[in-house]
């Protein structure tokens, strides 16, 4: 967690230096190459995020349970009420994309303790990610660049990429079997990547988290997917927050023997031990576009003493790419 202001330039410069000099770090695309690959598909980043471009700002607070303090010494788990900046998103590259499509929804959170410690996260409504490594993600984006002659991606190049990288189809298959959420408040949001949690007992445990909706899980019917308007999620959330609390329990799932700690396309078995470590309350939703979540990025950083990066190279890639993406969209 940072005790200093997270300026864009500082974050980008520090992370780029870290990524290029870390001893023993796996070779992976630079943050600039990653964001270039997004721009190759979507065009130049201007005002919106290249991923989860559509979103609505909200605010609330997080309070850890005693189990939270047991499993992490990070300040955010000390049991005090921690104010949060929240962004609910839709996994589309176009900020006007539909709320009814078979893509992920997202819950991004900035926790800011009274002492000024900041912890950011960005979670999705699927238990797995669409790329096993950062390089495969970049290769997938490069394969989908539009052909200047047709204005469309080259179908043969995309097919060859998919055939060579079957793990990139797993998230799509999960989404095909699970209709999109009926509300931003009615889906679990998974952190997907494994982190190392350092507990009060000094022990380090690999865990992944999920935010479970207290309202239960509700998905759109096939009929609703066809008939609901393209923009229903924000108003639906405003109505809910206006009539009662919207809450999520943060649950840790601990790795078992042999579980894959570095590949976010592989879920861990359901029978792994779990602990409820805190509750997130969404207290307000922005009345319209913009808000406190817009000019920031939810930076995935390795700065918290009790919540440290695992060896999953995706985490390092996210750290740098989010900072570079933010600096481009705020230019
Ligand atoms: C190699 C891996 C990844 C790369 C290169 C990557 C890249 C990016 C970039 C460039 C952004 C835009 C950031 C901004 O402009 O603020 C973004 C946003 C986002 N990513 Fe990733 N990402 C990766 C993995 C993941 C994973 C595993 C998850 C799932 C937990 C995820 C969830 C999100 C979400 C929810 C957002 C929107 C954040 C917001 O609301 O501001 N990403 N990603």
In this prediction, residues 84-90 reach a mean pLDDT of 98
pLDDT at 8 > cutoff 70: no
Confidence of residue 249 (pLDDT cuts 50, 70, 90): very high
Task: Annotate 69-90 with b (16+ C-beta within 10 A) or e (fewer).
Answer: bbbbbbbbbbeeebebbbbbbb
pLDDT at 256 > cutoff 90: yes
Catalytic residue among 48, 52, 61, 206: 52
Q: What is the pLDDT of residue 215?
A: 97
Confidence of residue 27 (pLDDT cuts 50, 70, 90): confident
> Which residues neighbour 166 within 8 Å (Cβ) at sequence distance 6 or greater?
none
- Classify the C-alpha dihedral 150-52-211-256 as positive or negative: positive
Does the domain formed by 54-312 have CATH 2.60.120.380? no
Specify the DSSP element, H or E, that contains 59.
strand 54-64
Domain boundaries, the chain: 54-312
Confidence of residue 15 (pLDDT cuts 50, 70, 90): low
pLDDT at 19 > cutoff 80: no
52 is catalytic: yes
Give per-residue pLDDT as tens, 145-174.
998 889 899 999 999 999 999 999 999 999
pLDDT at 9 > cutoff 70: no
Q: What is the pLDDT of residue 304?
A: 80
Give per-residue pLDDT as tens, 295-317.
999 999 987 889 999 999 999 99
Q: Where are the alpha helices (DSSP H) in 115-232?
A: 134-143, 155-164, 170-177, 222-227
Give per-residue pLDDT as tens, 110-137.
999 999 999 999 999 999 999 999 999 9
- Is residue 78 within 8 Å of 69, Cβ to Cβ? yes
Mutation choice for ligand 1 from 192, 265, 297, 318, CB with most ligand atoms inside 8 A = 318
45 phi and psi angles, rounded to 5 deg:
-75, 125
Q: Which tokens belong to 193?
A: 């990547």
Mutation choice for ligand 1 from 51, 106, 140, 313, CB with most ligand atoms inside 8 A = 51
The C-alpha atoms of residue 13 and residue 16 are separated, in whole angstroms, by 5
Confidence of residue 34 (pLDDT cuts 50, 70, 90): very high
Tokens 């955010």 sit on residue: 76
C-alpha to C-alpha distances, 158 to 63, 148, 165, nearest whole angstrom: 45, 15, 10
């Amino acid at each position: 967690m940072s005790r200093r202001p997270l300026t864009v330039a500082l974050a980008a410069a520090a992370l780029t230096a870290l990524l290029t000099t870390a001893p023993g770090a796996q070779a992976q695309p630079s943050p600039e190459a990653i964001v270039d690959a997004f721009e190759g598909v979507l065009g130049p980043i201007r005002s919106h995020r290249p991923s989860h471009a559509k979103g609505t700002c909200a605010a609330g607070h997080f309070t850890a349970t005693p189990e939270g303090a047991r499993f992490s010494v990070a300040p955010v788990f000390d049991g005090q009420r921690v104010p949060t900046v929240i962004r609910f998103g839709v996994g589309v590259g176009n900020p006007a994309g539909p709320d009814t499509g078979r893509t992920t929804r997202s819950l991004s959170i900035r926790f800011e303790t009274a002492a000024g410690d900041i912890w950011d996260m960005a979670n999705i409504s699927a238990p797995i990610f669409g790329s096993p490594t950062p390089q495969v993600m970049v290769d997938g984006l490069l394969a989908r660049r539009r052909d200047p002659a047709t204005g469309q991606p080259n179908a043969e190049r995309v097919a060859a990429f998919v055939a060579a990288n079957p793990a990139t189809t797993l998230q799509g298959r999960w989404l095909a079997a699970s209709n999109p959420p009926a509300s931003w408040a009615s889906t679990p949001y998974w952190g997907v990547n494994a982190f190392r949690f350092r507990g009060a007992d000094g022990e380090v445990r690999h865990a992944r988290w999920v935010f479970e909706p207290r309202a239960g899980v509700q998905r759109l019917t096939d009929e609703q997917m066809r008939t609901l308007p393209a923009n229903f999620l924000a108003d639906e959330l405003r109505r809910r927050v206006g009539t009662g609390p919207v809450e999520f329990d943060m649950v840790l799932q601990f790795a078992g023997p042999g579980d894959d700690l570095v590949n976010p396309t592989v879920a861990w078995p359901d029978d792994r031990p779990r602990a409820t470590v805190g509750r997130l309350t969404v207290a307000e939703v922005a009345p319209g576009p913009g808000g406190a979540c817009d000019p920031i990025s939810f930076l995935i950083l390795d700065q918290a003493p009790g919540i440290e990066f695992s060896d999953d190279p995706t985490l390092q890639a996210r750290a740098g790419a989010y900072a570079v993406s933010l600096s481009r969209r705020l230019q």
